[in-house]
């Protein structure tokens, strides 16, 4: 009887040892497999994050020329996308695409002096109208300029955008880039700017100015038009090549 009990006890102990060993083996296997699975998952997420972040690079969010833009535009009234006194007799309209490199050339090489000679003096006011023709990122950028204009920082936004422009449609016109331009342009209410640029009104305005540019026969950017006492409504100028030509057109329209 006692021998039988002993055998049973030994068997139970053996079974317990076996089950403990099996549980330990299971745990070890679990740790190995789980570590491998977790490693793979972490690598997958890291790759996704790197790809996602690299998509946004290419735009320069360390903005250049903020001071220069501020100096160019200092103390000149802005209303929406119009720069200059509302009493100025002549209105010079730029149909531009924020991604367009030639528009940038104009903004860098001609505009500062034109502003100094004709806008600051009250002879002309300058109006920007979006004509986004270079692709999807132009279409994204256009309402952002209008939204900045809603807070009367439109020209700061446009000038700063041009001066920090990247290569067309390479993904640089990101939320981050646009926001950095808006902040650099000192748009006071960024959440409002975000709402406005996403709103139907800004998009409708882009559509309207695009149709207007086409109606005037413009096939590229920047294209200019002038209106004053000496013109019959808004007259297309095309793309004048020099500061002198712009000044002459403004004088003729006055």
Partner 1 sequence: MSAPSEGTLRAVTTFVAAFGIGVAAYIAIAEAGGGAPACLAGGGGCETVAESQYADLAGINVAVIGIAGYVLLLVTALLRGDGARMGGFAISLAGFGFSVYLTYLELFVIEAICQWCVISAILMTVLFGLNALRMLRYTGIEP
Binding to partner 1 in span 196-235, by CB under 8 A? 198-199
Q: Kindly report the backbone phi and psi dihedral angles of residue 74, in degrees, each rounded to the nearest multiple of 5, phi listed first.
A: -55, 130
| Total residue count of the chain as it appears in this document | 254
Q: Report helix angle 154-163 to 136-149, nearest 10.
A: 140
What x/- string results for residues 43 through 82 when contact with partner 1 is judged by CB under 8 A?
Answer: -xx--xx-xx--xx--------------------------
Task: Give the whole-angstrom CA distance, residue 87 versus residue 125.
Answer: 8
Task: Give the whole-angstrom CA distance, residue 63 versus residue 165.
Answer: 10
Task: Give the whole-angstrom CA distance, residue 151 versus residue 197.
Answer: 12
Binding to partner 1 in span 2-31, by CB under 8 A? 25-26, 29-30
Binding to partner 1 in span 94-113, by CB under 8 A? none
- Least distance CB 45 / partner 1 (angstroms): 4
- Least distance CB 33 / partner 1 (angstroms): 5
Q: Which is nearer to partner 1, 45 or 102 (CB)?
A: 45
- Least distance CB 194 / partner 1 (angstroms): 7
Selected from 9, 17, 34, 116, the binder of partner 1 by CB under 8 A is 34
Contacts of 185 (CB under 8 A, 6+ apart): 69, 148, 153, 156, 157, 160
Selected from 10, 16, 37, 122, the binder of partner 1 by CB under 8 A is 37
- Least distance CB 25 / partner 1 (angstroms): 8
Task: Give the whole-angstrom CA distance, residue 139 versus residue 184.
Answer: 21
Size of the site for partner 1 (CB under 8 A): 31
Binding to partner 1 in span 144-203, by CB under 8 A? 171, 174-176, 179, 191, 194-195, 198-199
Task: Give the whole-angstrom CA distance, residue 29 versus residue 139.
Answer: 55
- Least distance CB 190 / partner 1 (angstroms): 8
Of 222, 105, 247, nearest to 236 by C-alpha is 222
Q: Which is nearer to partner 1, 140 or 164 (CB)?
A: 140
Please answer whether residues 129 and 93 qualify as being in contact, where contact means their C-beta atoms are separated by less than 8 angstroms: yes
Q: Kindly report the backbone phi and psi dihedral angles of residue 18, in degrees, each rounded to the nearest multiple of 5, phi listed first.
A: -65, -45
Q: Which is nearer to partner 1, 47 or 102 (CB)?
A: 47
Q: Which residues bind to partner 1, rule: CB under 8 A?
A: 25-26, 29-30, 33-34, 36-38, 40-42, 44-45, 48-49, 51-52, 55-56, 140, 171, 174-176, 179, 191, 194-195, 198-199
């Amino acid at each position: 009887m006692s021998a039988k009990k002993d055998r049973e006890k030994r068997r139970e102990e053996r079974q317990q040892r076996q089950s403990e060993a099996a549980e330990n083996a299971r745990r070890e296997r679990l740790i190995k497999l789980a570590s491998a699975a977790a490693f793979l998952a972490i690598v997958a997420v890291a790759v996704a994050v790197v790809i996602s972040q690299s998509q946004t690079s290419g735009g320069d969010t360390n903005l250049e020329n903020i001071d220069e833009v501020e100096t160019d535009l200092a103390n000149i009234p802005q209303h929406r996308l119009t720069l200059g006194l509302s009493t100025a007799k002549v209105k010079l309209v730029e149909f531009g695409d924020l991604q367009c490199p030639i528009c940038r050339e104009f903004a860098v090489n001609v505009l500062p002096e034109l502003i100094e000679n004709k806008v600051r003096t009250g002879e002309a006011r300058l109006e920007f109208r979006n004509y986004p023709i270079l692709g999807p990122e132009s279409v994204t950028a256009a309402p952002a300029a209008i939204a900045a204009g809603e807070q009367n920082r439109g020209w700061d936004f446009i000038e700063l955008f041009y001066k920090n422009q990247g290569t067309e449609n390479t993904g640089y016109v990101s939320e981050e880039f646009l926001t950095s331009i808006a902040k650099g342009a000192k748009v006071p209410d960024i959440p409002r700017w975000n709402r406005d640029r996403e709103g139907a009104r800004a998009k409708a305005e882009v559509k309207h100015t695009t149709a207007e540019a086409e109606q005037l026969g413009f096939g590229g950017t920047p294209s200019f038009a002038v209106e004053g006492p000496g013109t019959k409504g808004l007259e297309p100028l095309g793309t004048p090549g020099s500061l002198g030509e712009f000044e002459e057109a403004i004088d003729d329209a006055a």
